Amino acid sequence: TLVYVLNGPNLARLGLTEPGRDGRAAYPELVRVCQETAAELGLRAVVLQTDSEAELVGWLHRVAEEAAPLVLNPAAFTHCSYPVRDALALRRAPAIEVHLCNPYAREPFRRVSVLSDVVDGAVTGLGTDSYRLALHAVARLAGAGAR
């Protein structure tokens, strides 16, 4: 089974722009963690990153069409993108929101997620472990035939 791990703006620059802030790992390490965790769960992870809202919306349409499980780090789109939210709401399989950092420990605008009510759950603040745990959760939900 395929699981999508979609990442929003600036995440490919992880560890380059603000070392130590968004988790200790650089993006290639994050991709490796996702692929390795998915393999342990008997899944195949398609890990993608985009800085473009339109591209992310297109990927979310594909996820919906394929009824594929999803781990999504919408990055700053979390706090402001209704298009991303509406595209995510089309999903037909479990979806987990992830954040490397703890958004509640940062600027006030990060306390709001415009999409947390259209996901099954969220894992935040644990660096790459947020993705590990989210992949475990989504695999369980998908296996249980939830939704």
Q: Which is nearer to ligand DQA, 22 or 120 (CB)?
A: 22
d(CA 86, CA 141): 21
The reply on whether position 10 binds ligand DQA by CB under 6 A is yes
Of residues 57-76, those binding ligand DQA (CB under 6 A): 73, 75-76
Q: Measure the CA–CA gap between 109 and 42, rounded to whole angstroms.
A: 37
Residue of 85, 91, 99, 132 marked catalytic: 99
CB atoms within 10 A of CB 106: 12
Annotation marks residue 99 as catalytic: yes
Cα separation, 115 vs 25, whole angstroms: 25
Q: Which residue, 61 or 106, has its beta carbon nearer to ligand DQA?
A: 106
Q: Could you say whether residue 85 binds ligand DQA (CB under 6 A)?
A: no
Tell whether residue 110 is a contact of ligand DQA (CB under 6 A).
yes
Contact 69, 142 (CB under 8 A): yes
Q: Which two tokens stand for residue 57?
A: 């919306």
CB of 38 to ligand DQA, least distance (A): 19
Tokens 């950092």 map to which residue? 101
- Assess contact for 81 and 74: CB atoms under 8 A: yes
Main-chain dihedrals φ then ψ at residue 121, nearest 5 degrees: -175, 180
In the complex, least distance from residue 68 CB atom to ligand DQA, rounded to whole angstroms? 21
CB nearer to ligand DQA: pick between 39 and 76: 76
Residues annotated in a binding site: 73, 79, 86, 110
Residues labelled as active-site residues: 99
Report the interface residues with ligand DQA, using CB under 6 A: 10, 22, 73, 75-76, 78, 99-101, 103, 110
